[in-house]
Amino acid sequence: MDKKIPIKAVIFDMDGTLLDTEKLSDEAMLHALFGLSKSNVNADEELLLPWELKKKILGLRGSEWAPMVLNYYKENQSISKSWLRKVGDISPDTLWQLWEARLSELCRNVETCPGAVEIVAALSDQNIPIAIATSSQLQAVNQKKKKHLHMFEKIDLIVTGDDPAVENGKPAPDIYLLAASRLGVDPAECLVFEDAMSGVISAKTASCNVVAIPDSRMDHDEFIGKADLVIDSLQCIDRIKDSYCFLEA
């Protein structure tokens, strides 16, 4: 077996990696766009974005995904014609604000992703510096973490998408370079966990080691050759330990 790669710090994406927010994010988006909620759709109808759209916007900041979402629905009017609000009635900034507000409400009961609590605790017990690098805004992060303070209190640093020092969002490397710098660790000695291709590209461009945990709807093969390791969930701790050697601070 190849020699294990030494790691001095770990950086997590948050949404879809530590917190299971993706379905809630879709529900918030459809509420912002069309006023849809579980109270006004059929009980068996899932409030999910079309996958062809979702996979393009995963990991992006609101300033990047909002125009993409509006353009998608304007170009696919057959999807939205029977719903309550026409997408032409709102601007990208308004969509972003409405989405953030609705998601904050929904995230009061957000759950952690499988294995998240355990891996954060294990790294903390080993005195490995831990950071989060998320495209979410600080206010949204503060809302999302309320239910899981026992996990977040073990995290040393959170860098958000609206941090003034993050000039360009994922897939640019800015947020991971900033997180590594604030941790005082060379990016090449950082291990990043990401669920989105934009985040994988961001972290790799920053020269970090990257473990991808793709959404179950994604073709995992797309991540091979882009991420250093592709796993099904954070519960795959043995595969992580087989590839990386964590060095105590």
Give residue-wise pLDDT tens across range 185-208: 999 999 999 999 999 999 999 999
Tell me the pLDDT band of 36, cut-offs 50, 70 and 90: confident
> What pLDDT band is residue 45 in, cutting at 50, 70 and 90?
confident
CA distance 223 to 211: 10
pLDDT digits (tens, 9 = 90+) for 117-129: 999 999 999 999 9
Average pLDDT of 221-243? 95
Confidence band of 231 (pLDDT split at 50, 70, 90):
very high
Distance CA 206, CA 100 (A): 28
Nearest CA among 130, 145, 140 for reference residue 161: 140
- The average pLDDT across 158-181 equals 98
Strands laid side by side in the 157-160 sheet:
157-160, 130-134, 9-12, 190-194, 209-212, 229-230
- On the question of pLDDT at 84 being above 50, the answer is no
pLDDT of the residue at 78:
64
Give the whole-angstrom CA distance, residue 218 versus residue 222.
Answer: 8
Query: Which positions are catalytic?
Result: 13, 15
pLDDT at 162: 96
